[in-house]
A and B are shown apart, each in its own frame.
Chain A
Amino acid sequence: MSTSDEFEVLRRAVGQPPPAGVRRVRAREQLDAAIDAEVGRDRPPTRRRRGVVAATAIAVVTAAAVAYLAVGSRAPASALQALAEAARQVDPVEVPSGAFAYTRSEHIVLVGGPGDQFPGVEDELVAYLLPTTRESWIRDDGYVQLVTDTHPPTFFDPRVEAAYFEAGLDRLDGVGETVTTVFGEVTDPFPGIVWPTDRDELEALMEELIPDEEGQPPREVQLLELVAAILRERIVEPTVRAALLEVLATLDLEVTSTDDAVTVTVTYDQAAQLRYSVTFDNEANLITETTILLDASDEPYIPAGTAIRHSTYTPPIIVPDLQSPLP
């Protein structure tokens, strides 16, 4: 059949759901447990290294770059070890029932698409950066509230900027708007997983969660992305944070440090030269993530050195309700 497909309107509207990722791993574990129960063998469920954690499934796009000036001086991986030891000394936080983890964060993401959505622009592909500010309240039972402010984009080309507003894409992006979103069901990207505090056990579990397939970023990158995904906007026990840093300390990563923070960076090639950095505060909380494109892109036009993803986070705090903290 080669006629038009009316169902395409539905497919295009709903798009593709994100990869099953860790849900697949959990599903397989459940099935393995059922199989084991039937067989009557007393062995733990096997885990397959197949998961694609949603947050690590980020296949960052094309393009560009410039020199990135890391703050602070180059330090050995022992800076991570020292930070891990410091984190182990931090008192654990008890989260009262019904309380929320609150985080304020700022994000810049690369948005792009076909040029034909931009009147008068002849480029096949265009891109721009869209900044947002977000407050998140996350409760253990999966209740999540996000309050997101979307700010005016940054453009690389004045023609694209003009066309963007002419086409009304600012309204589509919700520029200038504050949107409150509530999820009543689980949004935990790692449902049911209890992170080990032993480095070797944690590393083994993390290895199972990253995809072992062609076309994926290098192992170091995936593990660093996974660490960020675990810590992002969540209350994570200090001993787990410490173990995460200990895992990173075993990897071939560039480590820089200041008095207040340690930054871990990896440069790699994933359709373009990329430089991914994650910064931790002195209690091993995630405070920034940045991905920089190291080669300029002609189409879509993106200047060299553009941070195509940049996020900053306040360390999560516990608040009793959705009205806290007061502005």
Chain B
Amino acid sequence: MDEQGDARIILESLEDPARFAEIFERHHDAVYRYAAYRVGTEVGGDVAAEVFLRAFATRHRFRSDASSARPWLFGIATNLVRDHFRKTARGHRAVAAMRPDPSAEVVWFEDVDSRVDAERVHGQLADALKAMRGPDREVLFLYALAGLTYREVAEALEIPIGTVQSRLFRVRAKLRNIQRGIGESEGEGSTRDNEH
């Protein structure tokens, strides 16, 4: 994907608004997944839709020197999620919404594995997430689930990259304890390359 082109497209959309649809096509699914992780699929769909409406309405504020629209879009999404939590006053109950939909008609074939693990860790994980400070939790979700880099998380939340690193350090330690608690050995999880 030509991430470098996001700025150009947004700039062009100031003259030709229809160009902004390309930004939607590039990033909607990732924004939706992030929002669904945070607030569940139903509200997540609404959040993702609203992200692109707000982004379109405020695109003149997009920094033309930014390499990608991702931090900008995820920043809007994070603000909308915060608003949602404020309105519903049920912050960490979103953890429950992340569980597989019990009304689903078909059980995905891989789900035994994930369900077993989820069953093992869910209580501890929920407790750990609840115990986390809100800002730590936001960094965690943007980095671990939305797949943003340190730099992109920093841009999305408008905080220094060092702050992102220190928050992730705390979060990583908590999750490592959970992993140990369920007997997983180091090196068992999937790996991930990342630009720091």
Contacts and interface: CB of A to CB of B under 8 A. Distances in A.
A250 B171 CA distance: 56
A24 B107 contact: no
A257 B105 CA distance: 26
Contacts of B182: 9
Interface in B79-111: 98-107, 109-111
A144 to B, nearest CB: 7
B18 A5 contact: no
Contact of B145 (A4, A11, A26, A60): A11
B153 interface: no
Given A20-B29, A28-B21, A62 B109 contact: yes
A139 to B, nearest CB: 14
A218 interface: no
Interface string A40-79: 0000000000000001001011100000000000000000
B44 A9 contact: no
B24 A31 contact: yes
Interface string A74-115: 000000000000000000000000000000000101111110
B15 to A, nearest CB: 11
Chain B interface residue bracket vs A: 35 or more
Contacts of B18: 35, 39
Contact of A30 (B37, B49, B172): B49
Contacts of A30: 49, 52-53
B131 interface: no
B122 interface: yes
Contacts, number: 194
Interface string B111-130: 11111111101100100000
A186 B175 CA distance: 32
B25 to A, nearest CB: 8
Contacts of B99: 14
Nearest to A172: B119
Nearest to A52: B29
Contacts of B118: 12-15
B61 interface: no
Chain A interface residue bracket vs B: 35 or more
Contact of A8 (B107, B110, B189): B189
B105 A28 contact: no
Contacts of B143: 7
Contact of A9 (B32, B101, B105, B179): B179
A161 interface: no
B145 A10 contact: yes
Nearest to A114: B113
B125 to A, nearest CB: 5
Interface string A168-197: 010010000001010101110001000000
A303 B44 CA distance: 40
A275 interface: no
A151 interface: no
Given A8-B190, A27-B45, A110 B107 contact: yes
B32 A23 contact: yes
Given A4-B188, A30-B53, A144 B103 contact: yes
B7 interface: no
Contacts of B140: 7, 10
B186 interface: yes
Contact of A1 (B109, B110, B187, B193): B193
A85 B3 CA distance: 53
A146 to B, nearest CB: 6
16 contacts: A4-B187, A7-B144, A13-B118, A14-B145, A23-B49, A24-B48, A27-B24, A31-B24, A31-B52, A58-B106, A60-B106, A107-B105, A110-B107, A172-B119, A181-B102, A232-B105
Given A7-B144, A110-B109, 7 more contacts: A4-B179, A5-B191, A9-B189, A11-B144, A62-B109, A110-B106, A144-B103
